[in-house]
Amino acid sequence: MSLFKGAGVALITPFNKDKSVNYDELGRIIDRQIEGKTDALIVCGTTGEPATMTEEEKLSVIEFAVKRTAGRIPVIAGTGANSTAAVIDFSKKVQKLGVDGFLIVTPFYNKATQGGLYEHYKTIAQSVELPIIIYNVPSRTGCNIQPQTAVKLAHDCKNIVGIKEASGNISQVAKLASLAEGTLDIYSGNDDQIIPILSLGGVGVISVLSNVVPQETHDMVTEYLNGNHRKALDIQLKYLDLINLLFCEVNPIPVKAAMNYMGFNVGGLRLPLTEIERQNGEKLKQELIKMSII
């Protein structure tokens, strides 16, 4: 069962000056995403800064997103942690809020073995009812789930339905697609690899770029899935420089800067993340001007 096909936005969390959550702006951003044909909202993923949010804040943001979306598109909540018990406890609370599924990152810092990763996800899957997308991003977690492990989980756990692949290793994604044979939905976790991963049988992207240009990111994936490969590739290449600038510093520093340049009141970041370096901010602003985004 696919949670979604197309472009899901890895949603930012806007803050007020005092770094509390700005719910007015969050609502505005969600409405813009839906108007821009975004195919799913991914809330409290990496881009939403959950690492510096309390559990109460995360539950509040997720609940707000569910209510604001009102069933128009799926809402997928990030519930990952490096403790299996903590993931289960939090996911059960989130499940009651009406989300459509979970995005669960591989446990960070612990550096679990492949056997440990299998048991981690299997135990979680057996404890919750909703569909799960595994999130593989070894550059952040120090942990890489191998294709064989991911596919075994999909075969053994009916509610493990997808994987967000942000390893950056196209050869690994190809191996994953070969082994999965359609049993596991593959989503690009890197905006500069959307078309390459779609070409290997991927069904979409969980995108930072979508915060800035939701319609165009949706169109890129939709055109590819509809067989218009050249048109989709043209969109990928058109936004490649912007994508690179959105990752010139650790995510979500640049994308929050971009949204502020665009006139949204998303505020700053919570420590230890800091504001974008002046020279990088200027390059990003000039690219947004060049692309007629601001």
Catalytic residues: 135, 164
**CA angle 62-67-68, nearest 5°?**
95
CA distances from 218 to 45, 164, 222, 224 (A): 19, 17, 6, 10
Residue type, 74: P
d(CA 270, CA 249): 15
Q: How many residues does the chain have?
A: 294
- Find the helix or strand (DSSP H, E) in which 103 lies: strand 101-105
**CA angle 60-128-4, nearest 5°?**
75
